[in-house]
Each structure stands twice: as structure tokens, then as C-alpha cells.
Amino acid sequence: MNVLIVFAHPEPKSLNGSINKFIVEYLETSGHQVKVSDLYAMNWKASIDSNDNVAAYQNKVFQPTHDSLEAFKNHTQSEDIVAEQEKIIWADIVIFQFPLWWFSMPAILKGWVDRVYAAGFAYAVGEHSENHWGNRYGEGTLAGKRAMLVVTMGGWESHFSARGVNGPIDDILFPIQHGILFYPGFDVLPPYLIHKTNSIDEERFSQIQAELATRLDQLASQPPIAFRKQNAGQYDIPALTLKAEIAPGKTGFSAHLEDE
């Protein structure tokens, strides 16, 4: 398979750097084709601006969505954006590897999403009618591909548990896994999480390698998170609220998971 790893950590000699090296070597040894977008090494530009459309002209009012769509349609996106979109299209699986900073991804990775996820590519795709509200949440350009998060965090597992002070990690990651990955069509595999990064000794690192190897062996076979598809009859359109008979009375992020 073709695997793209989007990697966001500033230091190759860090725990994240070591994990990234392990993932690449393990996948290559297993016979996969691997590409890495090492955002710090690439000096990735994080902020959307009018330069993202090489056809942009001065004195125009910059409208991020409109401009993104025009650039995508007219093939005037900046080269760095096109290169990343081509890598995604090439990939069967995309792994996003990053440290959790302030309960989200590092800015450089958010900037990869903001810029690479162009209008016409990752959103504003498909018809919007009374039966169908865009090709999104289970449909879209990236349908048929898989994605997985590999996330490190300083906090303890209990801090991110169902009653932990930070909130449950599944909920913290929902805006990413559902809002960024499932939205343009990815099937989203359960994340691989590494806690207490300040106390990783050799024994623990060996354990992480073994667990990761298992997860990497299952990239093609592991069942994805069962998010509900938006246009498959479970949501009222265009309100996009769950129909009354679907998970009656249930609210919040977990209502968007299929009943077990």
C-alpha cells in the first residue's frame, strides 16, 4: 500500500522523531511505499493568505473560501499545496503524527489542514440539495482512503479518561477525527495514543514499538470508527440534525457513532 505520513515535530532527535523513524522503517520493511511530509523539515507555511493562489492580484478583497475554490478549479494553487494534495491522492492511508499541544495539533499541522484542504478538494464538494448536503462526512474526494492519528501527550491516561479533568481523549480528538478526517471522506482508524511522554524509558519505548507494529500490520484490516454518514438517511437535510428516531434523546459527539 501507499502510506503518507504527515509529521509535525520540530526535533528529529525527540521521542516523536524516533517514533516517526520507526514507523517509516517498519512500513518499508513490510513492503509498503512510504512518503513523509515532515512539516518542520519542509518549513511548511502555516497561514492561509492570498499568496496561496498564484493568480491572485493586488487590491482584490481576499475571500479565503472563494479564492481557494477559484485556485483549485483554475489550477493556480501554489506549488506546495498541489504537492501535498497529490501525495494524499497517491496514498491509500494517511497517518498524522504529532504531539498534542493545547488539546489540538501544533500550529504547523493545523496550517497544513487549513491550506491543503482547499475548497473543491476537501470541502464545497458535491451538490447541496434537499436530499444531499455536499459530499462530506462519509463521502468526498478522499472516500476509500484510511487515516489514523498517532498522538503523544505529556498528561496521564487518567487525565484524559471519561471523568478526567482534560476531558475524554475521544472527545478532544473528535473535531480532528470527525471534522477533519471523516469530513472529506477518510475512514478513520482508532488513534494510537502515547501518554506521559516525560517518562518514556527504553522498556516503555520497546513496548510502544511493539504496539505500533501491531497497529501498522492492521492498517488495511482494522475496522474504522463507525461515524454515521451524513447523506445516508439518518440526518434531516438541510438542518443536518439526527432524525428523531436515530439514537433518540442522545446528544453530543457520541450520538454521531452508529449504535453498537
- List of residues contacting its own copies (CB under 8 A): 10-11, 13-14, 40, 44, 46-50, 61-65, 99, 101-108, 110-111, 113-114, 117, 137, 154, 156, 158-159, 161-168, 171-172, 174-176, 178-180, 230, 235, 238-242, 250-256
- Of 60 and 204, which CB lies nearer to its own copies in the complex structure? 60
Half-sphere exposure of 154 (CA within 13 A, CB side): 5
Cα 185 to Cα 163: distance, rounded to the nearest angstrom: 31
CB of 88 to its own copies, least distance (A): 15
Cα 25 to Cα 170: distance, rounded to the nearest angstrom: 28
CB of 123 to its own copies, least distance (A): 9
CB of 144 to its own copies, least distance (A): 21
- Of 73 and 250, which CB lies nearer to its own copies in the complex structure? 250
- Of 172 and 189, which CB lies nearer to its own copies in the complex structure? 172
CB of 194 to its own copies, least distance (A): 15
- Of 17 and 224, which CB lies nearer to its own copies in the complex structure? 17
| Core vs surface per residue 55-81: b (16+ CB within 10 A) or e | ebeeeeeeeeeebbbbbbeeeebbeeb
Find all residues with CB under 8 Å of 191, minimum gap 6, and list them. Answer: 148, 149, 150, 151, 169, 173, 177
- Of 11 and 202, which CB lies nearer to its own copies in the complex structure? 11
Q: What are phi and psi of 150, to 5 degrees?
A: -120, 110
CB of 209 to its own copies, least distance (A): 20
